[in-house]
């Protein structure tokens, strides 16, 4: 069986929960041809990406999907691209707040996801859950993880992608999505990997 590492984040900012980890926790241990390995990440620049690489290499992951909260979005958004930039409007959970900092000095400006993001967004939409491809993962910790992973696994067989999810209903925001829908969208995304 192939191995898929899926990560979610701890809460950050003013939030008490992070829908990314809540949804990842709801996933079964097997989805299509993949055994599912779950990892909780700190919302900390550098450290989150380092932990993903350590775990992925330990289990010899074939696919890595990181999931994060994008509050204010109203759809499941597979990210097309990670950019070589850190710029934080708020502190991360260790008190870091980089401003216009390069992630990898001398690295490419951007790397594209190696997941079939359009197909995944189409499949999620067809199931009745709103989804669209996103062209920016921001410049906070989620983009830091996506860019670092894409750079690290470039020219390897390991597929890497990132999916941002809306607030979940439990967070009491105007724009939100039920956790069951978020978890189901992640299952569909995994089923959509070529
Ligand atoms: N979302 C943040 C970091 C952790 C998370 O869940 C982001 O979009 O960068």
- CATH code at 39? 3.40.630.20
Residue 157 makes CB contacts below 8 A (sequence gap 6+) with 62
**How many domains does the chain fold into?**
1
pLDDT exceeds 90 at position 194: no
Q: Relative to the CA of 143, which ligand 1 atom is closest?
A: 9
In tens, the pLDDT along 97-137 reads: 999 999 999 999 999 999 999 999 999 999 999 999 999 99
- Residues carrying an active site annotation: 79, 142, 164
Sign for the CA dihedral angle at 173, 177, 163, 15 comes to: positive
Residue nearest ligand 1's atom 2 by CA: 142
Task: For residues 38 and 77, give the distance between their C-alpha atoms in angstroms, rounded to a whole number.
Answer: 20
Cβ(134) – ligand 1 distance below 6 Å: no
Alpha carbon distance 24, 124 (integer Å):
16
Q: 165, 177, 154, 145: which is closest to 5 by C-alpha?
A: 145
% residues pLDDT > 90 (the chain): 99
H helix count then E strand count, the chain: 5, 8
> CB of 171 within 8 A of CB of 19?
yes
Confidence of residue 30 (pLDDT cuts 50, 70, 90): very high
Q: Which whole number is the average pLDDT over 39-51? A: 98
User: Which one, of 147, 163, 188, lies nearest residue 20 by Cα?
Assistant: 163
> Which residue in 191, 1, 179 sits closest to 76, CA to CA?
179
Residue 164, token pair as written in the block: 């941002």
CA distance 44 to 55: 16
Taking CA atoms, 121 is separated from 115, 117, 130, 149, in Å, by 11, 6, 8, 21
Question: Ligand 1 centre and the CA of 45: distance in Å?
Answer: 10
140 close to ligand 1 (CB < 6 Angstrom): yes
Q: Tokens standing for 141?
A: 């910790």
Q: How confident is the model at residue 153 (pLDDT cuts 50, 70, 90)?
A: very high
> What pLDDT, in 10s, does the model give residues 50-96?
999 999 999 999 999 999 999 999 999 999 999 999 999 999 999 99
Tell how far the Cα of 98 is from the centroid of ligand 1, in angstroms: 15
Q: Is 70 in the pocket of ligand 1 (CB under 6 A)?
A: yes
Range of the domain at 98: 2-191
């Amino acid at each position: 069986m192939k191995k898929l590492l899926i990560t979610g984040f701890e809460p950050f900012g003013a939030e008490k929960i992070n829908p990314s980890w809540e949804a990842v926790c709801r996933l079964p241990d097997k989805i299509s041809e993949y055994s599912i390995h779950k990892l909780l990440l700190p919302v900390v620049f550098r450290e989150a990406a380092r932990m993903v690489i350590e775990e992925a290499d330990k289990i010899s992951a074939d696919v890595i999907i990181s999931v994060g909260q994008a509050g204010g979005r109203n759809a499941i958004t597979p990210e097309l691209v990670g950019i070589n930039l850190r710029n934080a409007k708020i502190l991360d959970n260790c008190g870091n707040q980089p401003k216009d900092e390069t992630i990898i000095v001398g690295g490419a400006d951007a790397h594209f996801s190696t997941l079939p993001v359009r197909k995944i967004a189409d499949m999620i939409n067809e199931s009745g859950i709103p989804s669209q491809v996103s062209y920016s993962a921001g410049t906070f910790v989620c983009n830091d993880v996506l860019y670092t992973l894409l750079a690290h696994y470039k020219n390897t067989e390991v597929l890497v992608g990132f999916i941002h999810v809306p607030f979940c209903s439990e967070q009491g925001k105007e724009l939100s999505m039920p956790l069951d829908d978020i978890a189901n969208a992640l299952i569909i995304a995994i089923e959509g990997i070529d």
